[in-house]
Amino acid sequence: MSWYVDSHIHLSDPAYASDMEFILNQMQFLKLKACCVSMNYKNSLQTLELAEKSDLVLPFIGIHPEYANQDIEKTSKLIEDNHIQISGIGEIGLDPTYVNEENDNKKQHEVFKTLLSYAEKFNKPVSIHSRKSLDEIFQIMTSYNTKHALLHWFDGSKKQLAKAMDMGFFVSYGPVMIYANDKQTLLSKTDESRILVETDGPVRFSRCFEMKSGQISFIPSVIFCASKILGKSFDEMTLLLEKNSNSYLGI
């Protein structure tokens, strides 16, 4: 049987803590693995602890642009000390939403580039946050290897999608795609070998999800939607995504 992979979820977020035993059992039952991304140093420690409980949790550690002003040295050491155990670096990137003064922008760039360097040093995939910053991300990534880089929750234009494909990025689509025509159109124009799926839980989703927090169990629904858009059977889509996920993870 094929494995499902959630390419980007914050499983170590406190929102999931009380249900974690159920979630891990659910993942085993569904044959589902999760790239568990982190927000900051403290959350990275929680991610590593969670990964010790289950080999279905693939730990990504890093600093989200919202927390770029926190201590990069401790996270860097954490990567150095745990580079064999971790599956990737993330969530990292840029986001002007969190820039309140000029130094914030500079700090985001410094942290992003530092963590990209560690990803290259240890040959790890990266999960990139690129809200309102895709063009900057593209520029920076010309100096780094994009072979195992994911633009999670891709929300760019068709032109930016074409650029991402030319540069060799993976892009991921989540539950929003089920009810958003623009995301369905982007998926249809994405190189099939670069498509991944995600939930980005515990983000909440509207429409058919009734503002429920993103659950890893949403992944089969996302895959089913993608299969219909691309004219594939569910099994064909699952096999494609498993192959893509392994390529992204370098396994």
Closest alpha carbon to 186 in 230, 243, 142: 230
Q: Could you give the CA distance from residue 140 to residue 137 in angstroms, rounded to a whole number?
A: 5
- Domain 4-249: which CATH number of 3.30.930.10, 3.90.1150.10, 3.30.505.10, 3.20.20.140: 3.20.20.140
First to last CA, the chain: 17
The pLDDT of residue 35 is: 98
Q: What percent of the chain has pLDDT over 90?
A: 94
Q: Is the pLDDT of residue 1 over 80?
A: no
pLDDT in tens, 132-163: 999 999 999 999 999 999 999 999 999 999 99
The pLDDT of residue 16 is: 97
Closest alpha carbon to 134 in 159, 107, 110: 159
The pLDDT of residue 71 is: 84
How many C-beta atoms surround the C-beta of residue 134 within 10 A? Answer: 21
* Domain range summary for the chain, segments of one domain joined by +: 4-249
Averaged pLDDT, 83-112: 96
Q: Which two tokens stand for residue 31?
A: 């044959």
Q: Could you give the CA distance from residue 93 to residue 72 in angstroms, rounded to a whole number?
A: 14
The pLDDT of residue 251 is: 92
Phi, psi dihedral angles at 59 (to 5 degrees): -80, 125
pLDDT in tens, 203-234: 999 887 888 889 999 999 999 999 999 999 99
Q: Is the pLDDT of residue 5 over 90?
A: yes
The pLDDT of residue 238 is: 98
pLDDT band for position 111 (cuts 50, 70, 90): very high
Q: What is the pTM of this model?
A: 0.97
Averaged pLDDT, 171-191: 97
The pLDDT of residue 84 is: 98
Q: Is the pLDDT of residue 168 over 80?
A: yes
Residue 75, judged by CB atoms within 10 A of its CB (0-12, 13-18, 19+), counts as buried
Q: Could you give the CA distance from residue 173 to residue 155 in angstroms, rounded to a whole number?
A: 9
The pLDDT of residue 223 is: 98
Q: What percent of the chain has pLDDT over 70?
A: 100
Whose tokens are 């992944």? That residue is: 219
The pLDDT of residue 211 is: 87
pLDDT in tens, 22-54: 999 999 999 999 999 999 999 999 999 999 999
The pLDDT of residue 133 is: 98
